[in-house]
Amino acid sequence: MKILVVNPNTSASTTRAIEETALRAASPGTEILAVQPAYGADAIDSAMESYLSAVAVMDRVLSVAEPYDAVVMAGFGEHGREGVQEIVDVPVLDIAESSAHVAQMIGRSYSVVTTLQRSVGAIEDRLRLAGLADRCASVRACGLSTSDVDRDPAAAMEAIVAEASIAVRSDHAEVVCLGCGGMAGLDEAISARLGVPVVDGVAAGVRLAEAVVGLGLRTSKVCTYAPPEPKEITGWPISRNLGGDAGMEAR
């Protein structure tokens, strides 16, 4: 099987880190195709950047010509998953939801450690929308931007450990989820420091995608995620230089 893993920002180094984690998590025989948008912010730390990314990610997914069996969106709760589910019929997994699902399988409560404080509300909203908030003990910010995490993973690990320790000690979290795709690959080292399970969303997304594909399941098209009705859409998808409803068919 082949899994398309999409980094929502335009940072090549973040894409490489996500790809490496996805490859480590993938089962033998699973191919990983890691991509990033052609335009947008090189780090996503605001609602504006997230909404821009949603359009760019849909655009990028439509530009992938080779077949794939699932999509893993490697932004932690970024906007756009529902749109991608409408334009493809393979399973589409978001790493925030994937990590929370996995965390609830191995502990009674979990906490998320993300980047900046301004990202906390967006993650809380995504978990609440997905029905995953009841067992979330807390969402904590380590105080580093997405660019900071990309630039200095060692410093990021120390900041994450500091907040995760508070989550375990004070919030009674039994599992910690890494709340940023750019934190991919830090889970084992942080788990060793804390003595609790740490879930990497990219790895969780890849493994859950394998499971859903292995069950022979695809995205339901009966109503909510049915392809959009054909409309005149001027100048989009940009990556194909197409207008109208071209490229809007489900893959």
What CATH number has the domain bearing residue 70? 3.40.50.12500
Q: Is the pLDDT of residue 154 over 60?
A: yes
Note whether 53 and 146 are same-domain residues: no
Note whether 102 and 23 are same-domain residues: no
Q: What distance in Å separates the CA atoms of residue 128 and residue 222, rounded to the nearest whole number?
A: 24
Q: Is the pLDDT of residue 248 over 60?
A: no
Q: What is the dihedral of CA 118, 121, 126, 130, to 10 degrees?
A: 160
Domain that holds residue 113: 96-200
Is 12 a member of any domain? yes
Is 245 a member of any domain? no
Note whether 105 and 160 are same-domain residues: yes
Note whether 169 and 192 are same-domain residues: yes
Query: Residue 242: pLDDT band by 50, 70, 90 thresholds?
Result: very low
Q: What are phi and psi of 6, to 5 degrees?
A: -110, 115
Note whether 100 and 90 are same-domain residues: no
Q: 247 or 185, which is more confident?
A: 185
Report pLDDT digits (tens) over 184-220.
889 999 999 999 999 999 999 999 999 999 999 999 9
Instruction: Based on DSSP, count helices (H) and strands (E) in the chain, helices before strands.
Output: 9, 8
Q: How many CB atoms lie within 10 A of CB 109?
A: 17
Is 249 a member of any domain? no
Averaged confidence pLDDT in the chain: 92
The residue written with tokens 């925030």 in the block is 96
**What pLDDT score does 251 carry?**
31
Is 11 a member of any domain? yes
Note whether 226 and 161 are same-domain residues: no
Is 14 a member of any domain? yes
Note whether 193 and 233 are same-domain residues: no
Query: Residue 243: pLDDT band by 50, 70, 90 thresholds?
Result: very low
**What pLDDT score does 168 carry?**
97
Angle between helices 95-106 and 201-214 in degrees, nearest 10: 90
Is 250 a member of any domain? no
Note whether 235 and 165 are same-domain residues: no
Query: Residue 244: pLDDT band by 50, 70, 90 thresholds?
Result: very low
Note whether 89 and 101 are same-domain residues: no
**What pLDDT score does 230 carry?**
87
Q: What distance in Å separates the CA atoms of residue 228 and residue 84, rounded to the nearest whole number?
A: 11
**What pLDDT score does 233 carry?**
82
Region 117-126: mean pLDDT is 95
Q: Note the pTM of the prediction, 2 decimals.
A: 0.91
Query: Residue 240: pLDDT band by 50, 70, 90 thresholds?
Result: low
Report pLDDT digits (tens) over 219-228.
999 999 999 9
Note whether 67 and 101 are same-domain residues: no
Region 96-123: mean pLDDT is 97
Report pLDDT digits (tens) over 82-92.
999 999 999 99
Residue 206 CB burial class (10 angstroms; 0-12, 13-18, ≥19): buried
Per-residue DSSP letter, 229: P
Q: What distance in Å separates the CA atoms of residue 150 and residue 153, rounded to the nearest whole number?
A: 6
Note whether 43 and 23 are same-domain residues: yes
- Total domain count, the chain: 2
Is 248 a member of any domain? no
Cis peptide before 228 (omega within 30 of 0): no
**What pLDDT score does 218 carry?**
96
Share of the chain above pLDDT 90, in %: 88
Is 231 a member of any domain? yes
Note whether 82 and 115 are same-domain residues: no
Asked whether 173 and 110 are in contact (CB, 8 A), the reply is yes
CA dihedral (212, 81, 177, 4) positive or negative: positive
Per-residue DSSP letter, 232: -
Asked whether 78 and 18 are in contact (CB, 8 A), the reply is no
